[in-house]
Amino acid sequence: MIKTIFFSTSDRMIPILEKLNRITDVKLCITKKDVKIGRTQEIKENKVKKWCITNNIDYLQIDNLKEENLSTVLNKITEINPDLGVVVDFSYIIPTKIIDMFNNKLINIHYSLLPKYRGASPIQFVILNGEKETGITYQLVHKEMDKGNILMQEKYNIKGTETSENLFEQLLYLNKESLSKFIELSEKAELVEIAQKENEASYTYSPTQPTKTIIFKEDAYTTFTESAEILERKIRAFNPRPILWSSLKLLTKYKNIELKDITKSDLIVKIYEGKLINNTLEITTLQVEGKNKMSWEEFINGYIQK
């Protein structure tokens, strides 16, 4: 059984780690440090670390891949002499020194059909842009973001109703189901490297922080000047986070309705669900600042003049 090292800083990737451990011999997991959350600064344990403890697998927790951390990781790779490294949803740029140690056996699993949607938010951007197809890409890790040669791809047909959470779950399942095929082809040396076409590349740059490829709360703000179709996509793309949001003033202006209490105009409203009916956006679930989620009917009854 081949020896592998798993790189991930995401709790959501435990199913991939479990599958990888069933079909290979996972010798080491590299993940992020535990974090303190909330007012009480309670420690939130990293689930990759917890899984490793439960399954008696060695692990390293890091907050970067520089200097001491890098030296520690390099020493562990030398000690293990792995056959393969698997990177999925990993927060840190992997230095060339680590890439070189794997000798073209360090692969990244990316949740889009590269070269489209390089970066940290491919699922949201696929929905925002109304794509009909997406998938996952197995690629060689490259010193530049998501530029490595493609080894294998699996496609997924988008229904057009998925939220980011729904689509992630579908791609996670596709990842888990295709992992055995990838490992088998890798062991048989039957994978063919395909260079990415740079003229077809796109990135998931944040509209409000264009040097970053993650989604920020500010990216999910709307003034309701977009078409109903774009707004509906944004509702799905920004669910479960950061959630499409605006002010009550702008929402009521968009829907041509009036608030009972004008002093509430500046309250923030989050829009969780909506649907297109005859090219019109019908909002079905929303939340007014300081209140619980409510249906559109409950919102009308509580806040709107009749």
Q: How is the chain split into domains, by residue range? A: 3-200, 217-303
- How many angstroms separate the CA atoms of 7 and 16, rounded? 11
CA dihedral defined by 197, 202, 203, 209, rounded to 10 degrees? 140
Bridge pairing between strands 280-288 and 268-277 = antiparallel
Residue pLDDT, tens place only, 171-215: 999 999 999 999 999 999 999 999 999 999 999 999 999 999 999
Strand 42-44 relative to strand 58-62: parallel, antiparallel, unpaired? unpaired
- Provide CB contacts within 8 A for 256, sequence distance 6+: none
What per-residue confidence (pLDDT) applies to 35?
A: 78
Secondary structure letter of residue 117 according to DSSP: T
Fold entry, domain 3-200? Rossmann fold (3.40.50)
**Lookup result for tokens 């500046």:** 266
Alpha-carbon span 246 to 240, nearest angstrom: 16
| Burial (0-12, 13-18, 19+ Cβ within 10 Å), 282 | middle
Q: Which two tokens stand for residue 142?
A: 């490259």
Q: How far is CA 229 from CA 151, 224, 287, in A?
A: 35, 11, 21
Q: Can you tell me whether residue 12 is helix, strand or coil?
A: helix
pLDDT in tens, 12-33: 999 999 999 999 999 999 999 9
Partners of 139 in the β-ladder = 108, 150
Calpha distance 110→153 (Å, rounded): 10
DSSP 153-212: EEEEE--S---HHHHHHHHHHHHHHHHHHHHHHHHTT----B---GGG--B---SSSTT-
**pTM, entire model:** 0.95
**Torsion angle defined by CA atoms of residues 100, 104, 106 and 108, in that order, rounded to the nearest 10 degrees:** 120
* Domain at 217-303: CATH code: 3.10.25.10
Q: What does each of the 306 residues of the chain score in pLDDT, given as a tens digit?
A: 999 999 999 999 999 999 999 999 999 999 999 877 777 777 788 999 999 999 999 999 999 999 999 999 999 999 999 999 999 999 999 999 999 999 999 999 999 999 999 999 999 999 999 999 999 999 999 999 999 999 999 999 999 999 999 999 999 999 999 999 999 999 999 999 999 999 999 999 999 999 999 999 999 999 999 999 999 999 999 999 999 999 999 999 999 999 999 999 999 999 999 999 999 999 999 999 999 999 999 999 999 987
* Residue 197 pLDDT: 97
pLDDT value, residue 192 = 95
- Alpha-carbon distances of 204 from 118, 163, 186, 208, 275, rounded to whole Å: 6, 17, 29, 12, 25
For residue 154, list its beta bridge partners.
136
Residue-level pLDDT at 42: 75
Cα–Cα dist 254/270, whole Å: 14
Confidence at residue 246, expressed as pLDDT on a 0 to 100 scale: 98
